[in-house]
Each structure stands twice: as C-alpha cells, then as structure tokens.
Amino acid sequence: MESSCNRVAANGGLAGFAVLQLKFIWNIQDEKMKKSDAKQGPPASELISKRIAELGDWRGESLRRMRNLVKEADPEVVEEWKWRGTPVWSHDGILCTGESYKKVVKLTFAKGASLKDPARLFNSSPDGNVRRAIDIHEGEEVDASAFVALVRQAVALNISCKSKPSKRKG
C-alpha cells in the first residue's frame, strides 16, 4: 500500500513535481529558519503570544483558542515563527500554520489533503492537491474535538512519513 507521503509524487506529472518542489522549498526554509532562529530574537512561543495580544479582538481570541487546542492535541508540538511573522506548529514536519487577516483567521494544514475530515472543518482550499485550510470568521467557533482529532491525524501522518525510508530508484 502506498503511503500518503509519496502518493501525489508517485503519480508523476506536474502534480508530483510540484509536491517534490514544495518539500524541497519547505526543507530549505526550515533549515534557514533553524539557523537564523538560533542566532536571534525571542522564542517563537513568546512571539505568538505577542501576536495574539496585539490582535486584541476576535482574531486574537480565535488564534489563542486554536493554539491551545493544537497543544492539547499534541503536548510535544513545536511552536515556530516563520516567514516573517507566521505562527507554525510542527511535529516531525509542519502540522499547520495560523495566519490572521482582517476578516479571517486561517489555519492551513500542510498535508491536509491526506487527512480525513468527517466533521468537514476544512472550508478553504478544498481542491488543493496537498494543503487544506480552515477559515474562521468573526462569531464562528470550530468544533474543538473534531479539530483535536484533525491535529492528531496530522501528527501521525508526519511521524509515519518520517519513519519510512524514501524509495529511490537506483
């Protein structure tokens, strides 16, 4: 049975190539951020808390709630601050990002297309080959137990992808 990690890439064509490019770019960005984060600035958790406080409205409250749910789902989650101000939660790779815009808080799952979403939380980017997102608008509340289950699936997927050696043609 083929893993979700390599399913799209194994199909070949432009979609497979795009996935490989994304993995490559994210790995390079991760390495650059690890090097630069080690040299400067406050810890990511502090920067995320500061962003939540600065928002000071429903967006800050939504981001705070979702952050707490991510930590509940995975107590070993790593908080990161990437791409000049985006909260990122990782465990053996990116789980999701937490972006805040004027009218929406967006949680983008890096491998969301490979996750089962029976509660239909994903309401943005539904046709993407790799990512899926949850947009939260003012007054909306995401089902906590369904979100925790989604994060736990993402963790399990990342762990399974990391533990399987890549198959290379030689």
Characterise 32 by phi-psi region: left (phi > 0), alpha (psi -120 to 50), beta (else): alpha
The answer to whether residue 46 scores a pLDDT higher than 50 is yes
For the stretch 87-129, pLDDT in tens is: 999 999 999 999 999 999 999 999 999 999 999 999 997 777 8
Whose CA is closest to 34, among 82, 73, 102?
Answer: 82
Estimate the share of the chain in helix, then strand, then coil, as percent rounded to the nearest 5: 50, 15, 35
pLDDT of residue 163: 72
Look at the pTM and tell me if it is higher than 0.85.
no
Q: What would the DSSP string read from start to end of 63-86?
A: HHHHHHHHHHH-TT-EEEEETTTE
Name the nearest CA neighbour of 98 among 124, 62, 130, 131. Answer: 62
